[in-house]
Amino acid sequence: MVGFCLVCTLIFLKMSIRVPFLTICIFSLLNVSAQLNDTVLSIPGVEIKADKISIFSAGLKIEKIDSTTLYVRKGISVATLLSEQSPVFIRSYSSGGISTLSMRGTNSTQSGVFWNGINLSQPNMGMADLSRISTFEFSDISLQAGGASALLGTGALGGSLHLSNTMDYSSPIKTSVFISGSTAGKFGAAIKMGAGGSKIAYIGSLSGDWNPNDFKYTDFNGKTKHLDHALSKSVSSIHQAEYKLNTKQKLSAGFWYQLTDRQIPPTMTMATSDQTQWDRAIRSSLQWQYIEKRQSFNIRTAYIDEKELYQSQSALIDAFYHLNTLQSDFEYKRILGKQFTIGFGTTTHVIRADVPYYEDIEYQPEGAIWLGLAYHQLKNGVKSVLNLRQDFSKGFKIPFCPSLSAEVPVSKNISASLAISRNFRTPTMNDRYWLPGGNPDLKPEESWNLEAGSAFQLKQTEYYQSKISINIYSMFINNMIQWVPGNTSIWSPQNVLKVWSRGVEVASKTDFKISGFNGYFRLGYNYTPSTYRETKETEQSIINNQLIYIPIHKIAETFYVSKGNHYVMFSYSLTGKRYIQSDNSKALNSYSLLDFYIGTDFKFSNSGFRLQAEIRNLMNKTYQSVQNYPEPGISFSVNLLITI
């Protein structure tokens, strides 16, 4: 595996004059480290970590969904979780349809989704369906806002979502069983098991749901209808294991199987639909880590096999898609002196796409070399990071992507952050190879991102603490890809757009513990103007208009309180209007949703169970996230969680 990484790296070194600069930096810093190594053997409070993002992300905004929220919202899709609990926008094609992530005024192909560092976005589409991912399967879910291509590579212009599980070596066998049912006919069940010993840790889950999605909605004539042909069935299983070879070395393996079989319902403008879609994904990874006090090595390989079958008898469509991705990563990190950490590595991908609308089976080799330098002053808490990355891909030149970020304590209760970065997104394989219309001469989208933030610790006592953070950002995207009609009326993707996205993000967290009551209040507000700055000559009238399906305003609020074994939670969200045409002449109305949850825990010596009731869309609002795709009204559900 090491040889494979090094060979690929040598090939990519020849493809850019910037790589020798990175190489010189790496070996110069390692030389300094060697000189310091004999004199500095141990640094109190400083220890090398295996996670690249945790070391080289100072100054970036990262929000982790807290464990209590995940406990209460266990078993729902990640799309539903983020729509309820976060001010990011989830573009939903009705219940049972696909749901994609949009951050900071970008579209769904410009926000990444990662599982243990593995990109889940499909190479042909450039996005991931969050409706297929259950919160039950993960212990850690976090959102990173803003550009991070210097860390994560292609697609991370607006931000990224990260999914993972914490491995526990100290716990005996633990099992959780989850069962849920709703008045809408949805049924779900899942089981999760974890175990750990002195050298080995394991966590595994199996989940599935059956959802007819035949809810009532109101059509254009004011008549009540049932959504037809909307059955969705899914199964998912994740397994992760770690084995300590010795005190410094560890082997890790991961496996994720997903299967979804769903009918695609008619839109509100269609009388009927006979469309169906079957998706299956198998993701596997193997990783070796060497970690000691001052340095670490990390070698990982991952293989993803994705299949999709889309059928429609009326349209005479029987399309089978098969995509394979082989990924290999090498990382090295080392502490330099008392305040610096250096990291560098390579990443390689080989993508194979067998798509019926391509001329032939297409292969897409990709690779990158990166360098990170982190500074952490323990005494005053100042942190700063410099990241440099050069990616390579068959068919086009990818821009050199640097980033510089910092966190600075201003006072005891105030801190400030600043980040600037260059980011990119390579065209999807559909953009390049689709027949008719694919454009192999497309350039990568690229952006410059600038953001500043501040966090204020408002008050902290034995019973109450509150914190508020404010972030402002500006992002200019060049060469943005848009499918446009050509001279022969065939639509084709072109680099015709320039977009300016900017905004303000406000988040507050309040926790309290009073008279036996424990709880919290969370508020998030995103103000997101994202406008066209340049486009093709025939569409100059849309300059300064808001991008379609990007709400300017999004609010998410959550209130939770518990006493003893009982708890209550309210979630409220407001999504502003979304324009559905580039000239901003038509828009979908804004909508607000209120959800209510009440539950109780019963705990025994070695086991327990939780019974929870939920009311979704308590105000029974009629709304659409995407035009002509109705969303369900009020629904009731009950779920049971058993722990052994």
Span 582-598, pLDDT tens digits: 999 999 999 999 999 99
Query: Does the pLDDT at position 13 exceed 90?
Result: no
Query: Does the pLDDT at position 625 exceed 80?
Result: yes
pTM: 0.91
pLDDT grade, residue 539 (50/70/90)? confident
The span from the CA of 353 to the CA of 334, in Å, is 38
pLDDT of 489: 75
| Residue 218: half-sphere exposure toward Cβ, Cα within 13 Å | 7
pLDDT of 41: 30
pLDDT grade, residue 26 (50/70/90)? very low
Domains of the chain listed by start with CATH number = 2-603+613-643 (2.40.170.20)
pLDDT grade, residue 50 (50/70/90)? low
The span from the CA of 189 to the CA of 603, in Å, is 21
Pick from 203-207, 282-286, 606-610: least confident: 606-610
Query: Does the pLDDT at position 27 exceed 60?
Result: no
Query: Does the pLDDT at position 483 exceed 80?
Result: yes
Query: Does the pLDDT at position 17 exceed 90?
Result: no
3-class DSSP assignment, residue 83: helix
Query: Does the pLDDT at position 413 exceed 80?
Result: yes
Q: Which residues contact 365 (CB under 8 A, 6 or more apart)?
A: 348, 349, 350, 351, 393, 394
pLDDT of 484: 84
pLDDT of 18: 45
pLDDT grade, residue 606 (50/70/90)? confident
Q: Over range 452-463, report the average pLDDT.
A: 91
Pick from 30-44, 125-139, 398-412, 445-459: least confident: 30-44
Identify the sign of the CA torsion 394, 21, 152, 344: positive
Q: Which of residues 378 and 574 earns the better pLDDT score?
A: 574
What rounded mean pLDDT belongs to the chain?
90
pLDDT grade, residue 540 (50/70/90)? confident
Please give the biggest Cα pair distance in the chain: 80
Please state whether beta strands 530-534 and 224-226 pair in parallel, antiparallel, or not at all (unpaired).
unpaired
**Residues 191, 176 contacting (CB under 8 angstroms):** yes
Give the residue from 554, 417, 437, 425 showing the smallest Cα distance to 494. 437
Query: Does the pLDDT at position 172 exceed 70?
Result: yes
Query: Does the pLDDT at position 296 exceed 50?
Result: yes
Per cent of the chain over pLDDT 70 is 92
Span 435-447, pLDDT tens digits: 999 999 999 999 9
For the chain, the 3-state helix, strand and coil shares in percent, each to the nearest 5, are: 10, 55, 35
Q: Over range 141-166, report the average pLDDT.
A: 94
Span 213-235, pLDDT tens digits: 999 999 988 899 999 999 999 99
| H or E, element range at 459 | strand 445-460
Q: Cite the beta strand spans of 147-199 per DSSP E.
A: 159-164, 174-182, 187-196
Q: What's the Rg (C-alpha) of the chain? A: 25
pLDDT of 396: 87
Query: Does the pLDDT at position 348 exceed 70?
Result: yes
Pick from 194-203, 248-257, 404-413, 457-466: least confident: 457-466
Omega before residue 356 within 30° of 0, cis: no
pLDDT of 15: 37
Query: Does the pLDDT at position 402 exceed 90?
Result: yes
Give the residue from 543, 562, 438, 549 showing the smallest Cα distance to 500. 543
Give the residue from 14, 6, 18 showing the smallest Cα distance to 422. 18
pLDDT grade, residue 45 (50/70/90)? very low
Per cent of the chain over pLDDT 90 is 82
pLDDT of 53: 84
Identify the sign of the CA torsion 252, 239, 305, 370: negative
Q: What is the dihedral of CA 113, 163, 144, 401, to 10 degrees?
A: -50
Q: Over range 190-200, report the average pLDDT.
A: 95
Q: Over range 562-591, report the average pLDDT.
A: 96
